[in-house]
Amino acid sequence: MTKFIRFYTFMLFIAVPVSAQEIHGVYIANQGNFSDQNGSITWYDLSTRQEKQVLSDFGTIAQSITLHGGLGYIASNTSNNVDIFDLSTNMRFGQIREVASPRYIAVVDQGKAYVSEQLDPGKVKVLDLQSRTVSDSIDVGSRPEDIAVVGNHAFVANSGWSHDSTLTVIDTQTDTVIET
């Protein structure tokens, strides 16, 4: 099961478009056992095919990870935080609190990101990346999952755990819902 999860996560990172910089490896969010709260972050070096634990057993479920501006943002599901670590040192850098059961993070621009909250009613929190705070909340469909930012729009997949299957479109300039 662990190999499958790692392979799936690895494929997700490869599928995401990247700028023209050379890629040496990937960071992998290992969820951990739900009841044990033992999520971790692994670095996989593509040239040596070696893996290295970067952050281990940090006391929560590591739902997902997003890299931006030399920092890693981890959706720490059961601790209700977004944990931040420095990619150059692999050390924890800070937290953004007040995010109920975060799932996925999408960077909107240099200073702003969106994070989906798993709990009902469905919400996407607006993160101020400079002050490391929640600056706003946007109502979306039931149990939002991943977020894709394209131009001035964010597309939020609402799963509802099989009770919803909608897509919410957010205007990233105004942080308002265009349609669901």
CA distances from 60 to 17, 35, 49, 150, 165 (A): 29, 10, 27, 30, 28
Q: Are 101 and 119 in contact (CB under 8 A)?
A: yes
pLDDT digits (tens, 9 = 90+) for 65-95: 999 999 999 999 888 999 999 999 989 889 9
pLDDT at 23 over 90: no
CATH number at residue 80: 2.130.10.10
CA 141, CA 59: separation in Å to the nearest integer? 29
pLDDT digits (tens, 9 = 90+) for 83-138: 999 999 989 889 999 999 999 999 999 999 999 998 868 999 999 999 999 999 99
pLDDT at 11 over 90: no
- Provide the domain count of the chain: 1
Question: Roughly how many angstroms between the first and final C-alpha of the chain, as a whole number?
Answer: 35
CA 148, CA 133: separation in Å to the nearest integer? 21
Give the structural domain span for 102. 2-179
pLDDT at 1 over 50: no
